[in-house]
């Protein structure tokens, strides 16, 4: 059941990435290295190519496999970060996972990105989406909220996070060299994370 949902999410995320090529590339050309979309597309397609293997694995091993696949297939700055997220998530997931376990795993994944990237909230990175989502997810999990409320809140928090990057001055990556000139532009990594989270939320509505 869990693996079936993971496979559905992979398919939908790949489609979202493909459909968002123009938007992501435009954001990356403005303040990034220009290779973010290519790397994200390569990673998502690589994960989709191993779905037959994922089907037979327990959830923790499936997430670990996803992390290892991203580690070996995605270049640039984002590859190791996404890989670290899934590898840390896998350590917290059990065979019969629940929202509390997943929220704990999600938080561990976000922390691994913070540690590896030496970044924090407000640095104009993907963490400006992931940290608020992580905090809200933990809160909602502890409160035992209804699924529809969870989906609405998480989707909204992710969108607010990506919009917030527009007014931030970066301190990491190529965009840091642009200083004030990067203000007014949304961070491409944050946008990618928001698109992925929104896609998973949409799948949850249908599940």
pLDDT digits (tens, 9 = 90+) for 95-146: 667 888 999 999 999 999 999 989 999 999 999 999 999 999 999 999 888 8
Phi then psi for 39, rounded to 5 degrees? -70, -40
pTM of the model: 0.93
**Dihedral of alpha carbons 129, 131, 134, 136, sign:** negative
Confidence of residue 32 (pLDDT cuts 50, 70, 90): confident
Model confidence at 94, pLDDT cuts 50, 70, 90, reads: confident
Contact (Cβ atoms closer than 8 angstroms) between residue 134 and residue 107: yes
When divided into structural domains, the chain yields a total of 1
What pLDDT score does 3 carry?
78
Sort 2 into a burial class: Cβ within 10 Å, 0-12 / 13-18 / 19+.
Answer: middle
What is the domain range of residue 75? 2-206
pLDDT in tens, 40-60: 999 999 999 999 999 989 899
pLDDT at 96: 63
12: three-class secondary structure by DSSP: helix
pLDDT at 1 over 70: no
Give the per-residue pLDDT at 177: 66
For residue 166, the domain's CATH number is 1.25.40.340
Segment of 33-37, 99-103, 179-183 carrying the highest mean pLDDT: 99-103
């Amino acid at each position: 059941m869990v693996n079936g949902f993971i496979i559905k999410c992979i398919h939908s995320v790949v489609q979202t990435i493909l459909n968002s090529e123009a938007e992501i590339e435009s954001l990356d050309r403005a303040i990034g290295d220009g290779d973010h979309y290519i790397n994200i597309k390569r990673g998502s397609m690589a994960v989709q190519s191993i779905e037959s293997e994922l089907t037979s694995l327990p959830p923790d091993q499936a997430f670990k496999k996803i992390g290892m696949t991203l580690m070996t297939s995605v270049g640039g700055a984002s590859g190791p970060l996404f890989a670290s997220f899934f590898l840390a998530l896998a350590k917290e997931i059990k065979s019969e996972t629940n929202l509390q376990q997943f929220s704990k795993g999600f938080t561990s994944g976000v922390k691994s990105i913070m540690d590896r990237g030496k970044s924090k909230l407000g640095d104009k990175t993907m963490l400006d989406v992931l940290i608020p989502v992580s905090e809200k997810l933990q809160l909602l999990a502890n409160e035992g909220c209804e699924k529809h409320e969870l989906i609405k809140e998480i989707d909204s928090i992710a969108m607010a996070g990506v919009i917030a990057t527009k007014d931030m001055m970066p301190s990491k990556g190529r965009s840091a060299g642009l200083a004030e000139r990067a203000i007014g532009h949304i961070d491409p990594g944050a946008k990618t994370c928001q698109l992925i989270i929104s896609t998973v939320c949409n799948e949850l509505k249908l599940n």
